[in-house]
Structure 1
Amino acid sequence: MVHSDSKQLIQSYIIQSQEDEIKRISLELHEGVGQNLYSILTGLQLVETGLNQPHLINYLREMTQLIEKTIQEIRLLSVELHPPALTTLGLLPAIKSYIKLYTSTFGVLVDLESIGEEKQLSEQNRVAVFRVCQEALTNIAKHADTSNVKMSLIWKENELKIMIVDFGGGFAADGIEINPFSLGIAAMKERMLLTGGHCVISSKIGEGTSVEISLPL
């Protein structure tokens, strides 16, 4: 039988390994594939200036637009995988960066407020809280059937509290079957437990869902 402390260390190691891999893929998308596409784009634009045949100019413009669109999609994917701000600037700027992407992708508006003075978190805790918020927002976009979300970060002396409230259809918490949605909820709770924090999810049919995250500072 695995001791609970050993089990927690193993779970923490697995999550950290996953995050390291996500960060690597994010950097490769942005600095590798994205940069290569940008070089191709500038090359095509240079060729376009030297062409005189209208049908070739139109073709090049179509290719240029496609590459520009692909570069934008890669940038958005890179931010979604691992916002650079999460490492360099902290949790709040990373959440703001993600919300911009989230709204442009799903059309769900997030009313974000931060109360109190932002505190520095360890990278492990920043990642854990960010992933839980990301999972909560993704669940709202996919399941809540709403276009408005209220998100509050409350910084206290010894605790960070985050409330995420949607105004959607809600769900019967006791009736969730084993599926990616319920597994996502379990992962949210597990991540916070590994940081010494908690994640409490409340929902009622017709009244929406609230996610409350707490983390000792």
Structure 2
Amino acid sequence: MENLIMEKLFEEAKDALFLIEENKCIKQNNAASELATDYPFTLEKVLEIARGEGCMLHSTMEKCLDCEVRADWDQAAFPLILEDSKGRQEQFSGSYTVINQQNALLSIRRLALQDRLQQVIQNKRLIEYVNQAHENERRALSQELHDGLAQSIYSLMLETRQLKWNEESEDLATKLQKIDEDFVALLGEVKQLAIDLRPTALDDLGLVPAIETLLHRLTETTGIAIHFIPMIENKRFPDSVETITYRVLQESVMNSVKHASVDELWVTLSEQAARLILAVRDHGKGFDLQQMNEHSQGLGLLNMQERAESIGGHLIVHSEKAEGTTVTLQLPIQWEGVK
């Protein structure tokens, strides 16, 4: 009788339940069968994630780029991303319970309502952040135009007016040379401002050359060695994919430069399963992601996540104190909204 009751509870459980024996499923309930039909996945990959041996990002892929998005998850509740037959992704929560030396129970459920409410709150915070970021960008641009370009132009205007009263030819040649040098510097300021607003290399040459140009400039200005490993050919991607990849890279690298206290960074770019994968890794100070979100200090990360999700992509940040940080961006190369 007791066995029949347990059998019924197992079959009617709302969570997807898999009874595991030596890495193989020997029994699953109705919810598990529906989950496996709606979200085809490799059981071995999920078990690797549950044991902290696999990659949360590449749980739906046959191969992983060794992106180091790994952790010793609490087996009572570990994050999981599954993909349906149409390529749409959804977040789940899994648990892994060892029964005895041979058997274990794997449970998978969709995110709880509380988690979804938390996502709504984060989205509201993100909207506020984006609005404030736009205002900050306008303020910075206005200040740059006023304190930089406007002052340089005014200085050149005064220098050219002084030429009217210059009677010594030798002194005139020196001042003309000085004015010429100032014009060259002013032109450099204008070009740099234009690059910051929209990198021309991204439009003219493509993503890989634009990244190489950006990282070379950042290496020169910060002194940090940035190792870029492109694992794809130099080809064009949809404009939104290239732009989001570039901006997420830019923000990720600057976060490491400002906060990680490192002298080296690693950037990889690859293409896997019709997705563009960007990874930015440092071995710096690291941080507690959950604590940062609770104290509303992770809005820059939310901004990057919103950029990715706007075209059906996903951003994963893995960080541990004193162990470093890895930011992994994956974007669909083709989808209905990408042009």
Shorter-chain TM-score above 0.5: yes
Tell me the residue number matched to 1:161: 277
Please state if 1:178 is matched with 2:288.
Answer: no
> For residues 313 and 306 of structure 2, what CA distance do their matches in structure 1 show?
9
Q: 1:117 aligns with which of 233, 237, 257?
A: 233
Letter in 2 for 1:193: E
Q: 1:107 aligns with which of 181, 203, 223?
A: 223
Please state if 1:188 is matched with 2:326.
Answer: no
Higher RCO (CA 8 Å, separation ≥ 6 residues)? 1
**Could you say if the C-alpha distance between residues 51 and 124 of structure 1 is closer, same or farther in structure 2, counting changes exceeding 3 Å?**
farther
> For residues 216 and 319 of structure 2, what CA distance do their matches in structure 1 show?
26
Q: Deviation of residue 206 (structure 1)?
A: 1.0
Contact 1:167 1:209 survives alignment (8 Å): yes
> For residues 314 and 178 of structure 2, what CA distance do their matches in structure 1 show?
50
Contact 1:111 1:148 survives alignment (8 Å): yes
Tell me the residue number matched to 2:169: 52
Q: Deviation of residue 115 (structure 1)?
A: 0.8
What CA deviation, in whole Å up to 9, does each residue of 1:162-215 have, x standing for no partner? 111112211111221324xx2111010111011111111111111111111111
Q: Deviation of residue 156 (structure 1)?
A: 3.0
Q: Deviation of residue 105 (structure 1)?
A: 2.2
What CA deviation, in whole Å up to 9, does each residue of 1:83-138 have, x standing for no partner? 11212222111111211222222222210011133453211221111111111011
Tell me the residue number matched to 2:313: 197
More helix per residue: 1 or 2?
1
Tell me the residue number matched to 1:86: 202
TM-score (norm 2): 0.47
TM-score (norm 1): 0.70
Tell me the residue number matched to 1:134: 250
Two-structure CA RMSD over aligned residues (Å): 3.5
> For residues 103 and 81 of structure 1, what CA distance do their matches in structure 2 show?
19
Give the length in aligned residue pairs.
Answer: 184
Contact 2:245 2:278 survives alignment (8 Å): no
> For residues 143 and 175 of structure 1, what CA distance do their matches in structure 2 show?
16
In the alignment, structure 2 segments of 5+ residues that lack a partner are 1-119, 334-339
Contact 1:80 1:101 survives alignment (8 Å): no
> For residues 201 and 61 of structure 1, what CA distance do their matches in structure 2 show?
52
Letter in 2 for 1:168: G
> For residues 131 and 208 of structure 1, what CA distance do their matches in structure 2 show?
21
> For residues 76 and 147 of structure 1, what CA distance do their matches in structure 2 show?
24
Tell me the residue number matched to 2:78: none
Bigger mean CA offset, 143-152 vs 56-65 = 56-65
> For residues 320 and 245 of structure 2, what CA distance do their matches in structure 1 show?
24
Q: 3-state DSSP class of the match of 2:193? A: helix
What CA deviation, in whole Å up to 9, does each residue of 1:50-78 have, x standing for no partner? 96344x65555555444433332332232
Contact 2:206 2:234 survives alignment (8 Å): no
